[in-house]
Structure 1
Amino acid sequence: MTSLVAVDWGTSSLRAARIADDGAVLEERSSTRGILTVPAGGFPQVLQETCGDWLADALCLVSGMAGSRQGWREAPYCACPAGFAEVAQSLTWIAPGRIALVPGLSCEHAGVPDVMRGEEVQVFGAMDLLRQRDGTFVLPGTHSKWVRVREGRVQSFATFMSGECYALLRQHSILARTLPAEEPPLDEAAFTRGVHHAQDSGSLLRSAFSARTLALFDRMQPPALASYLSGLVIGEELRARGSEARSVVLIGSAALTARYALALRTLGVAATSLGSEATWRGLWALARTLEKT
């Protein structure tokens, strides 16, 4: 296989990896030059500054927000169901045969579109690493994604604004007055209590206020309240998914996947966790698919 430079270019950061023919990561680099810091027309220069010495005679696949309207060039979404072949065929080429943007995926629920850009590569990487062609893949974050995969293709997915909702409640609601300014270490007992209460209350609109009343009646201390609120928000996400799966694959940062694994385990759902290796494996698998087409 042609040598590969894999790039994950997000809103606030840029990561790149040089990947061997067998999928091994030879070297990684990162910078704070996310797409919001790049002026119009500046993407080629930033890429060159980050990993230009890797690019000679290499294929470069770029995933993430670089393919958005605010990025290098808009890469139209690939509609679900979609697998390796469909995404490989939908690449937007910046330099034919050399540099391409990965398109992201779209699906619809009741006539309303949903999208992901960057997470699809992580799902494909997890599928390849785990040799798993069916299942539910969960990508926690600011906008969490629940992805349903069947026979090696993403059938559909759903987005939950859980991380953003937590930040809004944590920093800009009445609850902020009783929560510590800095995020304390996870209190597992308070967190799982929040997860359980989310299942019983039926709505985050109702359960969120309990973070205030528990403080008012001195039934929970401020450091624990942050974990409790986190449990409420993540618990609401799990409640909304219902009994969709009895096991899931989590993909994301170690700290966040650990919270989701704890919440899932509390509700009797098993979880396998992967980190950044899923991104590099996904881009490598797409490059390998290109060679076969």
Structure 2
Amino acid sequence: MSRIVAVDWGTSSLRGALLDSDGKALEERSFARGILTVPTGGFPETFEACFGDWMTPGTLCLISGMAGSKQGWREAPYCACPAGFDAIAAQLEWVEAGRIAIVPGLSIERSGVPDVMRGEETQIFGALQLLGLDNARLVLPGTHSKWVTVSDRKVTDFSTWMTGEFYALLRQHSLLARMMPEADPAHDAAAFDQGVAHALAGPGLLNTAFSTRTLSLFNRMAASALPSYLSGLVIGEELKSQTLPRGEPVVVMGAEALTARYEQALAQLGVPVQRVGAGATWRGLRAIADTLS
């Protein structure tokens, strides 16, 4: 397949790339047209307006992300783990046969409780390709962070952590918010490290979070440092819950500023990091497309 159109259609944004046979982006586009902005029945028209000129005869388009959710273009049922490239490709949801397909997300069940991801699976498979890995431990930080285990190029386990959302709730809507500046100041590395260390040593976030207030009350930390300290607390709490052998690398994927914080926090545990950027999505979609050839 000489070229494909790769699309990442999320809740709040829409981005796409025209890829050559090696997965290189020949052109990229981004729009503020997440699935929540698209009216009922409006997905074909929105897609055509954004990427129609790329869809020359014989071109395949693969779409990852929330376009495959119940609120999206068409629901793509979750693919149960363990799952690799072949399982994902076998469960593509075809919007137009042979032309446009939506990549399914992944699901797993643990102790009778399901967990899911949608969109991250494509980034994971892309990272494996970019780094030449068959086995890996990965984290995708964000509003809902994902910790993932890959064995023999298959996602065998993953879990979701609401770290970013809890930070936002505490930062904006709790008693702690009253002690912090309204706008986020520059990252304070020392305060962040202090937060991570306190989380790793403490009994849990329900206890350690209150230290954000007491450090302020006793004038032991400037107001401008408190957001970084709180960020360290919630990320440290997330890391404390993982099994992370010292010296074994973790692949960290996501926005540069956030992945840098995770790298800083993981350093306290003696865990080295390999960082992968946004291009992993395109490489992952290219790899899925290649299984169809």
Partner of 2:263: 261
Contact 2:245 2:271 in 1 (8 A): no
Q: Given the alignment of the two structures, is residue 12 of structure 1 paired with residue 12 of structure 2, yes or no?
A: yes
Partner of 1:163: 164
Partner of 2:239: 238
TM-aligned CA deviation for residue 243 of structure 1: 2.7
Partner of 1:176: 177
TM-aligned CA deviation for residue 27 of structure 1: 0.5
Query: What is the identity, as a one-letter code, of the residue corresponding to 1:240?
Result: S
Query: Take 2:241 and 2:101, find their aligned partners in 1: how far apart are those partners?
Result: 36
Query: Take 1:198 and 1:235, find their aligned partners in 2: how far apart are those partners?
Result: 5
Partner of 2:39: 39
Partner of 2:194: 193
* SS at 2:70 equivalent: coil
Partner of 1:226: 227
Structure-to-structure mapping, 1:116-135, within 5 angstroms: 116-135=117-136
* SS at 1:261 equivalent: helix
Query: Take 1:123 and 1:244, find their aligned partners in 2: how far apart are those partners?
Result: 21
Query: What is the identity, as a one-letter code, of the residue corresponding to 1:117?
Result: R
* SS at 2:292 equivalent: helix
Contact 2:139 2:252 in 1 (8 A): yes
Query: Take 2:32 and 2:245, find their aligned partners in 1: how far apart are those partners?
Result: 37
Partner of 1:285: 287
Contact 1:257 1:273 in 2 (8 A): yes
Note closer, same or farther for the CA distance 1:61–1:244 as it changes in structure 2 (3 Å cut).
farther
Query: What is the identity, as a one-letter code, of the residue corresponding to 1:97?
Result: G
* SS at 1:241 equivalent: coil
Q: Which runs of 5+ in 1 are unaligned?
A: none
Residues 45-74 of structure 1: per-residue CA shift (max 9 Å, x gap): 111111110012210000000000010011
Contact 1:2 1:59 in 2 (8 A): no
Runs (4+) of structure 1 exceeding 6 A deviation are: none
Query: Take 2:245 and 2:100, find their aligned partners in 1: how far apart are those partners?
Result: 38
TM-aligned CA deviation for residue 183 of structure 1: 1.1
Q: Which runs of 5+ in 2 are unaligned?
A: none
Q: CA RMSD in A?
A: 0.9
Query: Take 2:155 and 2:173, find their aligned partners in 1: how far apart are those partners?
Result: 36
Partner of 2:110: 109
Contact 1:195 1:263 in 2 (8 A): yes
Query: Take 1:29 and 1:76, find their aligned partners in 2: how far apart are those partners?
Result: 27
Percent identical residues: 60
TM-score by length of 1: 0.98
TM-aligned CA deviation for residue 242 of structure 1: 3.4
Partner of 1:150: 151
TM-aligned CA deviation for residue 244 of structure 1: 5.5
Query: What is the identity, as a one-letter code, of the residue corresponding to 2:162?
Result: M
Query: What is the identity, as a one-letter code, of the residue corresponding to 2:118?
Result: R
TM-aligned CA deviation for residue 162 of structure 1: 0.3
Query: Take 1:243 and 1:5, find their aligned partners in 2: how far apart are those partners?
Result: 37
TM-aligned CA deviation for residue 108 of structure 1: 1.1
Contact 1:94 1:101 in 2 (8 A): yes
